[in-house]
A and B are shown apart, each in its own frame.
Chain A
Amino acid sequence: MVTTGTLTSNRNLFFWMSIHRPVVATRSTEEPPAHPAARRRLQEASSTMRIHRYRPLSYALALAVLVGSLTGCLCRLCPPKPPEPGPPPPEPPVETLARIEVDDGIEVALLEQELGLEPVKVEEGRILYYRPDAEMTRKLADLGYQPVRVDAAPVLHRVMRVDRSLLLEEAALVDAGATVLLREERYWIVRASYRQLQVLARLGYPLSAVEELQLHPRQVRIVVDSFAQIAEVGRAGVDIYNATPLRDPKDPYRVEQSERGDAQPYVVLGGAFDDAIDRLRELDLQVEILPDPQGVVR
């Protein structure tokens, strides 16, 4: 099992390397992750050490290897210290759920009001999950529903913190199906299903609970071409506080015309997580990150 505690506390590249091989050897005895991309990553991790995102640091890495080797020799003189056991992979609060299909959120509200049904999760207002309950299942069946039992792990999601280290890749998080909400210097905040989180844990990604204040959207400033495009920014996931025509003389970034068209440009101010900012940049919009409000610590 990957010792997440060890990896979490690892701020020293040598230390990480010194435990790297034993960790992989332990992994190889485990059942491989279900997700093909995760399996691929695991294979890659067990065979070679690849650094994709931090090439500029490769020199530092080489130096660290050298220093590490020397230190390792010295350490042989000391008694070996076993890796600290990390927390187990996150488990969903229930193992199984019951699922029914509904038309919309109003139907869910009616089921709650009339039957006392307590939804555990509703996906897009169409798939309702509840804790299996024989009496409730009977009532629902009487109304024509067809409840089905399902495994909770791929259904329920959780937002977690993943501490970063040089050799952990964001791409693997995405491959495993996680959504990266925040990409901070020392950690990622991801949203993923329990199943996906379990895969990540096996891959060695150190997961921990999110402190609420870490889950703070960034302040963004976006210039759009037209009034209509403001709504696109909102749909991409920006919590729009305000939008004003760019010609507003109070705006220090005043320009008369957008570079991308003749329509009236607007400045949109709002809050957004990194997944929304990524989407905006895919739309070829310039996103300026503004300072956080007072008291926000990342």
Chain B
Amino acid sequence: MNRNLLAVFGLTLLASSTISAGPAFGAIDFSAFHTPAQVDSELANLASTHPSIARLQTIGNSVEGRPIRALKISDNVNTDESDEGDVVFVALHHAREWISAEVALYLAEYLVTHYSTDAALRACMDNLEIWIIPVLNPDGYIYSASDPSRRYWRKNRRNNGDGTFGVDLNRNYAYKWGLGTGNEGSSSTAHDAYRGPYAFSEPETTAFRNFIDGLDHPRALLTYHSFSELFLRPWAYTTSDPPGEPTLAFLAQNSISRIAAVHGHTYGETIWYNSYGETTDYFWNDSRLAGFTPELRPSSGGFGGFAPPPSQILPTAEENLPAALQFIRDAGCRRLWIKDHPTDNGTEPSSVWTGTGWNPAFWVSPDIWTVPATLTGGATVTLNVRIHNDGPAISGATIRAYYTDPRVALEFPNPANVLIGQQSPTTLPPGDTVLSFPWTVPTGTNIWGERHWCVGAVVTHPDDRPLTTMIERTSNIGARNFQTVPELVSGTLTVAVTNFLDVAAEYRVTIDRDDLPEDWEVIMPPRPEPPVLNRKARILGVERNVIEPGETVIQPIRVEIPPDAPPDLVHELQVSGALLPLVPGERTAVGNGYTFRIGGTPEEDDMQP
């Protein structure tokens, strides 16, 4: 991965002579809908004519055993580059929505043919693995294309065993599965929105979930549907805002503007009904992977809306291209960024969960600091945020600073955040810029009885957008943990673990005491187990530390400092935690940590409860 634009440009010049350009853009005919076989063959053709950057692979099989194909586009396409981010475009969850496969195919052709000619795009693509899955539901697609009477088939081709066929794949994901009725996700096997007998009952949805779980660093997901000209964002199951709504809204509205700029079609933001067990809800809840659902042309109509005239294919694909490219730029080319820890170089993610802790701690941004450094509750201090700009001077950026109660999982923005301030500088020059915000430090303790506050800073720009709310997964967000009293001498630290997920989770709290002298004792007593362990935990073999949704667990940590320790000796103790949800598939860890300073001189206002 190379994040230096000049170096990337140099590499581009060097490498372009060695990469076969293949057929030029426009070789694929979009004047008519492709048949399923033609989509397959066009994909294979893109891979074979651009072998150095495109490879066709199978992510799983449909219920009737057909392969679900993904076109991988990346610089070293035959290598799994674990340090690169992933952007995923998927289409045709619903069999009758043929135009979605066309849009995905168009994007694929655009990317492979412009890689060698568009240096700026290539610079971003080189930092990514891009996945295009034009047909997630091959059985349904083939069935839909096999006869005019079957043209409006929506589901997959599961034999439900009762004389009916098909499960609606976009009602089969695990988040909020089974809570709707009718169009929201039906229990009736004949219904077009039949949700399946249980979450992830279908091989297509399971394959897609496992595929996303298997990616190194998924950054963004676009799942194309039709029709009605909408650009939808989570939540699908409710009209209430999800955590991170401002980020999702910004991404969606920015995409809508880009779409409208092409042919003047302004996509809407809301649909008329809720959907339970929907794709983007699942991934936003699971791992704050930002997923969006473009509902393509036309804007209105009856069943014929699923079969627009072929003349609509090209304008639909053209208008959706800039929005897709911007997600690639956001994910692959960071420009404005904030460090998460002293050694952060802008890599995303800046830290990973190792199973025993976050490596490195990512809540210690050197780009966020206060003057004075020592905080007292109620005092007004200056909060400084440093923004790095790796490109030329840029206008239009907005920087927001928040503080929040630190919990196991931190995100910015989040409804629990308090906005400290917001600035939109006229320009951000190349290099570093420090912005200052007045901040009145909260008095007392946070709601968990701790003297900890976390400050988060978010930098956004229409051409450089944070794709998630998780600190470690985007360079657009930095955070710093503050203590309003400086030190603990000896005593008990309290760490609160809150399950903000909607599913039960296993939690892990870990202590990094490497910085402490050996004779300083840190003890974390085990939490008494509840009398009846969660059944999902038993199935997964998780024997302890299960936390229900919304539950908060106070985890005491006993610190014993020898009496003869020098009073001016202060050390840092990192306490971190993670939630591992009790869900099928890979259980993605989400979490954060605190930095406690211990040692020194006792003060009246110490941290003990």
Contacts and interface: CB of A to CB of B under 8 A. Distances in A.
B183 A242 contact: no
B164 A271 contact: no
B37 interface: no
B190 A159 contact: yes
B303 A125 contact: no
Given A106-B177, A143-B539, A237-B182, A231 B272 contact: yes
B189 interface: yes
Interface in A35-52: none
Interface in B551-609: 582-585
Interface string B290-306: 00000000011111011
A235 to B, nearest CB: 4
Given A230-B273, A240-B272, A111 B539 contact: yes
A253 interface: no
B584 A124 contact: no
B183 A239 contact: yes
Contact of B149 (A234, A269, A293): A293
Interface stretch (B196-204, B437-445, B460-468, B481-489): B196-204
Q: Looking at chain B, what size class is its interface with the partner chain? A: 35 or more
Nearest to B298: A242
Contacts of B52: none
Interface string B162-178: 11110000000010011
A144 B538 contact: yes
A254 to B, nearest CB: 13
Contacts of A269: 301-303
Contact of A241 (B149, B277, B306, B539): B306
Interface string A218-234: 01010000010011011
B492 interface: no
A109 B306 contact: no
A134 interface: no
Contact of A237 (B164, B186, B197): B186
A238 B177 contact: no
Determine the main DSSP class of B at the interface with A: loop
B362 interface: no
Contacts of A271: 152, 192, 303
B60 to A, nearest CB: 14
A210 B189 CA distance: 14
A219 B303 contact: yes
A239 B191 contact: yes
A244 B163 CA distance: 34
B178 A125 contact: yes
B539 A106 contact: no
A157 B164 CA distance: 10
Interface in B261-319: 272-274, 277, 299-303, 305-306
Contacts of B180: 235
A217 interface: yes
B300 A244 contact: yes
Contacts of B470: none
B227 interface: yes
A276 B182 contact: yes
Given A107-B536, A271-B192, A290 B302 contact: yes
A114 interface: yes
Nearest to B533: A144
Given A93-B161, A110-B539, A119-B198, A236 B182 contact: yes
B14 interface: no
Contacts of A297: 149
B539 A156 contact: no
B273 A239 contact: no
Contacts of B164: 159, 210, 215
Interface in A122-176: 122, 124-125, 128, 143-144, 156-160
Contact of A125 (B177, B183, B227): B177
A241 B182 contact: no
Nearest to A230: B272
B187 A106 contact: no
A216 B153 CA distance: 9
Contact of B305 (A102, A124, A241): A241
Contact of A107 (B197, B535, B585): B535
A231 B273 contact: yes
A240 B306 contact: no
Contacts of B174: 105-106, 109
A84 interface: no
Contacts of A270: 183
Given A109-B201, A119-B198, A219-B303, A237 B184 contact: no
Contact of B199 (A108, A128, A243): A108
A269 B301 CA distance: 7
Residue of A120, A231, A248 ringed by the most chain B CB atoms within 10 A: A231
A103 B199 CA distance: 12
A186 interface: no
A157 B162 contact: yes
A296 interface: yes
Given A219-B302, A221-B302, A239 B193 contact: yes
Contacts of B189: 157, 159, 191
A74 to B, nearest CB: 42
Contacts of B15: none
Contacts of B148: 293-295
Contacts of A234: 182-184, 272-273
A25 to B, nearest CB: 32
Given A108-B198, A119-B198, A160-B163, A293 B151 contact: yes
A183 interface: no
B417 interface: no
Interface string A264-298: 00101111010010000000000000100111110
B424 interface: no
Given A237-B191, A241-B303, A244-B300, A107 B178 contact: no
B228 interface: yes
B154 interface: yes
A63 interface: no
A1 interface: no
A243 B268 CA distance: 12
A217 B584 CA distance: 34
Interface in B202-232: 227-228
A156 B189 CA distance: 12
Interface in A197-215: 209-210, 212-213, 215
A110 B300 contact: no
Given A157-B162, A230-B272, A273-B191, A115 B539 contact: yes
A158 B190 CA distance: 10
Q: Which 9 A-B pairs have the closest CB atoms?
A: A295-B149, A234-B183, A108-B198, A125-B178, A159-B163, A105-B199, A234-B273, A295-B148, A239-B192
Given A104-B178, A293-B151, 7 more contacts: A106-B177, A106-B503, A113-B584, A144-B535, A157-B162, A235-B181, A269-B301
8 contacts: A106-B584, A110-B582, A112-B201, A125-B199, A157-B162, A158-B163, A215-B190, A269-B302
